[in-house]
Amino acid sequence: MDLPRQFVIREGDLRILNPFDAEKLATLGRALKLAPGTSILDLCSGKGELLCTWARDHGVVGTGVDISTAFTAAARQRATELGVAEQVRFVHGDAAAYEGEALVDVAACVGATWIGDGVPGTLEILARRLRPGGMALVGEPYWRIEPPDQATVEGCDITNRDDFQDLPGLVGLFGEQGWDLVEMVLADQDSWDRYAAAHWLNLRRWLDDNPDDPLAGELRQELTEDPLRHVRYRRDHLGWGVFALIRR
């Protein structure tokens, strides 16, 4: 059980594997008023930057679960680098099926609601891991501008316009599922650019070093097509944010 190599190559040395920068992640941590000892379960934790930096800055404790062996190893290394390896741990496994040992104060799934086949199912997974009154964190795309045609929808890496809500629709969906929205931090076009463009550089460096790899043709095509797709479609039409929710 692991992520395909394409994901590891594309993310390269990035620490945050979504269109958030370090300042936005820090802003979110401050906005949530995290107390020392707050317990967090981070499903699809990537390279562990949320848990590791919040453990350093706020004294939280917790567990991250991710299907990627490479990302899990990087998260453990990051915990050691920041001196928080006694506060956080990282588990390689299926985030959707992870049970854990105890209920937590904060359960997060930032940018991977596919684990529950969308927002409603992911909120159900998070709710099962939360203590009464606990907080869920969901990272999710939304339409900044209504897509005018199917080409725009597909340029944002989906096939169905209804796979994403606009921002009012997403906030309304949280309420329909029985949750109060209590905080949010949204990506902007610059953080989208930093994330997308970092992929292009990672791909180009890898292609230069691995011209005969079996993946070279596929990743060459991605590098050729993705910059135009980003500036034509994703950058203007697609937003992204992390939303803090408490069940009613």
Total number of domains constituting the chain: 1
Cα distance between residue 112 and residue 86, in whole Å: 26
Provide the domain limits for residue 28. 5-144+158-188+239-247
Domain membership of residue 80 (yes or no) is: yes
Q: What is the pTM of this model?
A: 0.96
| CATH value at residue 75 | 3.40.50.150
Residue 163, both tokens:
């796979």
Q: Give tens-digit pLDDT for 11-43.
A: 999 999 999 999 999 999 999 999 999 999 999
b/e burial code for range 96-131 (CB count within 10 A of at least 16 → b): bebebeeebbbbbbbbbbebbeebeebbebbbebbe
In a domain, 216, yes or no: no
What does the pLDDT look like over 213-243, one tens digit per residue? 999 999 999 999 999 999 999 999 999 999 9
Let me know if residue 180 belongs to a domain. yes
Contacts of 6 (CB under 8 A, 6+ apart): 215, 218, 219
